[in-house]
Amino acid sequence: MAAIELTGLSTVYPNGVRAVDDLDLSIDDGEFFALLGPSGCGKTTLLRTIAGLERSSSGTISLGGGDVTRTDVGKRGVAMVFQDYALFPHMTVAQNIAYPLRVRRASKQAQQDAASTTSAGLGLAELLERRPAQLSGGQQQRVALARAIAMEAQVLLLDEPLSNLDARLRLEARTFLKRLQRELGLTTVFVTHDQAEALALADRIAVMADGRIRQLGTPKDVFQRPADTFVANFIGSTPMNLLTGTAHDGFVEVAGARLASPDLSLADGTKVVAGIRPEYLAPAAEGITGTVSIVENLGVTSLVTLECPGDVLVGLTVPEHEEPRVGTAMTAAPAPGRLLVYDAETTRLL
């Protein structure tokens, strides 16, 4: 049984923006699911629609098998962590964490118990009497998580929970979040526009654009075989090379080179876009040839930009100790099976 099942779901704002557009999605019980996409693509809206803070215009939402499309917010058994955490500034950490129980008029004892058990699991036991303003960003984030967990909902929604943290803390919080989710086994939907975060954390990822899902799959799928050029462009810490060209005799001709294409039996002259990740391009005797124009140090590797015939720029990564000199010529070829061919018209993977 799916924990979250969305069918034909649309959310339209009063100003006419279709922030979620006819979306179908099924999320499994206990899954850690990431919604990934650029700013304004409708991630927050989708999350809010699931929580019931926005009313869907059409389509249905069911949670744990029950239809909740018309159920009021707060009665859906969904907990949520807001991007700004929304910790109540006038309550202590303990009161914040116990708030979901207070709403249900649980006894003072039950509230205290919930606060101490939940806080212990998140390393907040020492902070129970503080107010949110006296906490660091990372502590606030954990209090917000604790409060959501204390609700004991079947589904946990997280809206960019890590985006307010600095880079270092973010990595720690990421690991922490993953461990916590595993321990609790909570179905978790996680919104982010950071592709690395999604790849690192999620069991499955949905890449969104303009209120629709562009690709749905495991991090591996999405990273290795982006379904269209939009996703290809979006995923990966260095942008994928997307080179326009034509198909010929089972080869694709791009940037003045003929590359062996996967067996697609394309008609001669078909306009295509060849997608190759910089990580999957390596120096070779034959392949794309150009002049080294820029070398950027990325730490363990370096990103080399080649200027190829027709003013095409191609990026590839090389181990840092094999950096070429700027101005020299260089030839590179894709690793076997790593060349992706997209239809230039539909932008879909062929």
Ligand X SMILES: Nc1ncnc2c1ncn2[C@@H]1O[C@H](COP(=O)(O)OP(=O)(O)OP(=O)(O)O)[C@@H](O)[C@H]1O
Residues in contact with another protein by the rule CB under 8 A: 12-14, 51-53, 55-58, 72-75, 78-80, 82-84, 86, 88-90, 99-100, 102-104, 147, 151
Residue 192 touches Mg ion, criterion: CB under 5 A: no
DSSP state of 23: E
List the end-to-end C-alpha distance of the chain, in Å, as a whole number.
33
42 binds, among ligand X, Mg ion, another protein, none (CB under 5 to 8 A by kind): ligand X
Nearer to another protein, 1 or 133 (CB): 133
Q: How far is the CB of 7 from ligand X (least distance, A)?
A: 19
Return the amino acid letter for 218: T
Q: Which two tokens stand for residue 50?
A: 């699931």
Q: Which two tokens stand for residue 44?
A: 């927050």
Find out whether 146 and 118 touch, Cβ atoms under 8 Å.
yes
User: In a 3-state reduction of DSSP, which class is residue 334?
Assistant: strand
Nearer to another protein, 82 or 342 (CB): 82
User: In a 3-state reduction of DSSP, which class is residue 109?
Assistant: helix
DSSP-based helix, strand, coil % in the chain, nearest 5: 30, 35, 35
Q: How far is the CB of 225 from ligand X (least distance, A)?
A: 24
Sign of CA dihedral 340, 343, 347, 350: negative
Nearer to ligand X, 99 or 234 (CB): 234
Q: Which two tokens stand for residue 7?
A: 């069918």
Nearer to another protein, 72 or 311 (CB): 72
Residue 44 touches Mg ion, criterion: CB under 5 A: yes
164 binds, among another protein, Mg ion, ligand X, none (CB under 5 to 8 A by kind): none
Nearer to another protein, 14 or 65 (CB): 14
Residue written as token pair 């589904």: 155
Q: How far is the CB of 38 from another protein (least distance, A)?
A: 22
**How many residues of this chain interact with ligand X, rule: CB under 6 A?**
13
Q: Contact region for Mg ion (CB under 5 A) — 39-47, 102-110, 165-173, 327-335?
A: 39-47
What gap in Å lies between CA 129 and CA 141, rounded to an integer? 16
Among all residues, whose Cβ is closest to ligand X?
44
User: Which of these, 31, 2, 28, 49, lies nearest to 208 by C-alpha position?
Assistant: 49
- β-partners of residue 272 are 245, 343
Q: Contact region for ligand X (CB under 6 A) — 12-20, 232-240, 293-301, 322-330?
A: 12-20
Find out whether 200 and 181 touch, Cβ atoms under 8 Å.
no
Nearer to Mg ion, 44 or 56 (CB): 44
Nearer to another protein, 83 or 117 (CB): 83
Find out whether 10 and 23 touch, Cβ atoms under 8 Å.
yes
Residue 158 touches ligand X, criterion: CB under 6 A: no
Residues 189-248 that bind ligand X (CB under 6 A): 193
Q: How far is the CB of 11 from ligand X (least distance, A)?
A: 8
Q: How far is CA 16 from CA 172, 207, 261, in A?
A: 40, 23, 44
Q: How far is the CB of 252 from ligand X (least distance, A)?
A: 34
Q: How far is the CB of 48 from ligand X (least distance, A)?
A: 7
Q: Which two tokens stand for residue 315?
A: 């990026």
Nearer to ligand X, 43 or 76 (CB): 43
Nearer to ligand X, 203 or 210 (CB): 210
- Where are the alpha helices (H) located in 72-124, listed in sequence order? 93-103, 108-121
What gap in Å lies between CA 125 and CA 308, rounded to an integer? 59
Site string for ligand X, 24-63 (x = CB under 6 A): -------------x-xxxxxxx------------------
Binding residues for ligand X (CB under 6 A): 13, 15, 17, 19, 37, 39-45, 193
